[in-house]
Amino acid sequence: MQNIDLSSIYTLWNGMRTPRLAFRKLSLEDEQAIFHYSSNPEVTQYVIFPTHRSLEDAQAFIKLNLEKYEKGQVACWAVTLCDTGELVGTADFCWWSLDQRKAEVGFCFAKEQWSKGYASEALMGLIKFGFMHMELHRIEARCFEENKASARVMEKAGMLHEGLMRDFIYVKGRYWNIHQYAILRDDFDKIPKYDGFELEVEWRE
């Protein structure tokens, strides 16, 4: 699909698959799974959103994304296991600059799914989708300085560390240093593992 625009991503996009993961839009039926990992302080320690305290928090998060889908805006996608359909996390393009041809990606996974390579696979899926279907020139990702696991995920996906931004964001009662990572289309084209990385995208008719 060529010359895709922002609105088409969230109206015509109908999901995609990597070797072990399936991406789809969130639904209200996902509230238990979202609450399960978003209520874990270990999961939310190094993310911007607060720890969920009730199912209502998960419902509000899902409804916000459903509204964004309807408006054709960037929004979170559910990440599930191909074999079982279990929702294990979310991944998304946080923002997308059409004129600059660049975007930022993010991800969050349930604790019991850590250290299984799912975050790296999801990130690689987003990166390949961004370059092959969104015609991006640059894809960025950021993480708190203390979040060493996310930094490793970004490096495994071929992103380069561009620097540490001191006191970049104020959230959860304090300022945080943020690591900046990025990958360019030229970098992507030179990484052999992306050639054999399977990504199947489904579009609505």
- How far apart CA 93 and CA 74 sit, in angstroms, is 6
CATH number at residue 34: 3.40.630.30
Domain assignment present for residue 74? The answer is: yes
Element (H, E) at 176: strand 174-184
Model confidence pLDDT, tens digit, residues 102-155:
999 999 999 999 999 999 999 999 999 999 999 999 999 999 999 999 999 999
Element (H, E) at 101: none
Counted residue by residue, the chain has a size of: 205
On whether the CB atoms of residues 199 and 158 are closer than 8 A, the answer is no
- Ranges of beta strands (E only) in 29-159 are 77-81, 87-97, 102-109, 138-144
Model confidence pLDDT, tens digit, residues 86-113:
999 999 999 999 899 999 999 999 999 9
Give the number of domains in the chain: 1
Torsion-angle region of 195 (φ positive above 0: left; ψ -120 to 50: alpha; else: beta):
alpha
Between the alpha carbon of residue 91 and those of residues 16, 40, 144, 192, the distances in Å are 12, 18, 17, 23
Question: Phi first, then psi: what are they for 143, rounded to 5°?
Answer: -150, 155
On whether the CB atoms of residues 10 and 68 are closer than 8 A, the answer is yes
Task: Give pLDDT, residue 4.
Answer: 62
Domain assignment present for residue 131? The answer is: yes
Give the domain extent around 43. Answer: 6-139
- Ranges of beta strands (E only) in 18-82 are 21-25, 77-81
Domain assignment present for residue 19? The answer is: yes
Domain assignment present for residue 194? The answer is: no
Nearest residue to 92 (alpha-carbon basis) of 74, 65, 73: 74
